[in-house]
Amino acid sequence: MSDGFLFVSLPLAGHVNPMASVAAELSARGRRVAWAGSESFLRPLVGPDATIYPIPLRVHRGGGTRGLASTRARWEGYITPHAKVTRSGIDRAVADFRPTVLAVDEHAVGGAIAAHRHGLPWATMTSTSMELTRPFHGLPKVEEWIRARMAAIWTAAGMPGELPHNLCTSPHLVVAFTVPELATAATPDAEPLWPRHTVLVGPALTHRPPAADFPWEWLDPARQHVVVTVGTLALEHARDFFRRAVDALRPLGDRLQAIMTAPQDFVPDPPEHVLVRPKVPLLDLMPRLDAVVCHAGLNTVTEALAHAVPLVLAPVTSDQPITAAQAAAAGAGVRVRFDGTSPERLREAVLAVLDDPAYRAAAARLQKAFRAAGGARAAADHLEALARRAATDRPVGPAGLGVPGELSELIKGGAA
């Protein structure tokens, strides 16, 4: 029987998409691959042939909160209930599929607990900048509060003893969908905060669901093209942002066309050079784009930079301010405020990234770094290496895999 890899993700497209690229790469190599999660959510993203162990999800999101309030909402309203409602389903998937390795979203801590329970190695898959950068490393009380939430999840799952380590950071392998050139751009002189067994593979873009319908004939080759998107979680709070974006772009119809990913009622009467669509084939559009205005989610940012497209970054919450700071520090974009930025300032930022070639040149440098990092192929290589290691480093009891000596100091404590 070939090595098996069980993928466990949150029901968020930006988290699933890069993992799906890695899963597809492993499947193409003849490895057994399965998913544990919501069938209705995963199926359109991972394809009709993927093996899915269905788990009903009843979770809440706190996408509109900011700062420390967003941290509380993320843990109390999302991560903790997700772990509770998924743990028995993940256990059943492990027992039936018998994976060699679990590939677990950084915040799907139910997958990490399942790996411990069954004595299996697991890899953390980081599709955001949140855990990779330890945003609260200067706030020990916040880190301790997060660790207490993890400990409560651990105990509620019936696991023995104290919390062994940070459940958002595997002691075996951390796969990050970014590169050092981006992840350290805002802190070039600081020691990286991620553990030594972290591999930065760049964006994994090789697998995506079927593209949304799009009126390609609408695109005017004589004009520049800009996409405005705020992702899924911030959308309910973005009506005013889209209004200001329309006002910012309204005088520019002679030189550009804009595609806004928003409900039609957010922009009820757009000018002729602004197209409003609830969904767009963003990756297919990227080669035709001259700029992206976005919420600074890591996936959208890396998708743009992978095509050397510069950015206007309007972060909303969670890790987005971190990613925005990184992209701006790398020279590949301009950061603006999501709330309160005037149409004039937003127009100024768009024109800056369109007219100053330095922004596109910086984006092209990151594009080169992404290609060298390897993406889904490199991530699959590291997961396979972990599976090979599992053949010799056998489990040492119900708490999990014996960890190589050079990683042992990372098991206790750990960053929140």
Global pTM reads: 0.90
Tell whether 16 and 103 lie within a shared domain: yes
Q: Are residues 347 and 382 in the same domain?
A: no
For residue 67, tell me if it sits in a domain: yes
Residues 183 and 273 in one domain: no
- Euclidean distance between CA atoms 258 and 241, whole angstroms: 14
Is 257 within a domain? yes
Instruction: Evaluate whether residue 131 is within a structural domain.
Output: yes
Instruction: Answer whether 295's CB lies under 8 Å from 317's CB.
Output: no
Output the CA–CA distances (angstroms, integers) from residue 273 to 62, 226, 249, 286, in the order listed: 34, 11, 9, 18
Identify the CATH number of the domain in which residue 89 sits: 3.40.50.2000
- Tell me the pLDDT tens digit for each residue of 14-38: 899 999 999 999 999 999 999 999 9
**Cβ distance 371 to 203 under 8 Å?**
no
pLDDT of residue 363: 98
In a domain, 340, yes or no: yes
Same domain assignment for residues 324 and 344: yes
Q: Is there a single domain that holds both residue 29 and residue 175?
A: yes
The pLDDT of residue 414 is 35
Res. 130 pLDDT band, cuts 50 70 90: confident
**pLDDT in the model for residue 182:** 97
8-state DSSP, 75: I
Number of folded domains in the chain? Answer: 2
Q: Are 333 and 312 in contact (CB under 8 A)?
A: yes
- Residue 1, pLDDT score: 66
109 shares a domain with 75? yes
Average pLDDT estimate for 40-61? 84
Determine, yes or no, domain membership for 416: no
In a shared domain, residues 367 and 386 = no
Distance CA 274, CA 259 (A): 6
Q: What is the pLDDT of residues 292-326, one digit of tens each?
A: 999 999 999 999 999 999 999 999 888 899 999 99
pLDDT digits (tens, 9 = 90+) for 191-237: 888 989 999 999 999 887 777 799 999 999 999 999 999 977 667 77
Does residue 298 form part of some domain? yes
pLDDT at residue number 66: 61
Residues 343-362 pLDDT 10s: 999 999 999 999 999 999 99
Q: 348 and 230 in one domain?
A: yes
* Half-sphere exposure (Cβ direction) of 71: Cα atoms closer than 13 Å: 17
Rounded to whole angstroms, the Cα distance separating 50 from 48 reads 6
Q: Which of 69-73, 184-188, 194-198, 271-275 has the highest mean pLDDT?
A: 271-275
pLDDT score, position 121 = 96
Helix (H) or strand (E) holding 4: strand 4-8
Residue 398 has pLDDT above 70, yes or no: no
For the stretch 377-388, pLDDT in tens is 999 999 999 999
The two tokens of residue 26 are 């492993």
Q: Is residue 210 part of a domain?
A: no
Q: Is 194 in the same domain as 324?
A: no
Shared domain for 183 and 306, answered yes or no, is no
Contact 150, 208 (CB under 8 A): no
Within this chain, do residues 265 and 241 fall inside the same structural domain, yes or no? yes
> Range of 146's domain?
4-202+374-410
pLDDT at residue 393 in the model: 65
* Phi and psi torsions of 211, nearest 5°: -70, 145
**Domain co-membership, 14 together with 99:** yes
Residue 66 lies in a domain: yes
Q: Nearest Cα to 313, choosing from 290, 288, 289, 338?
A: 338
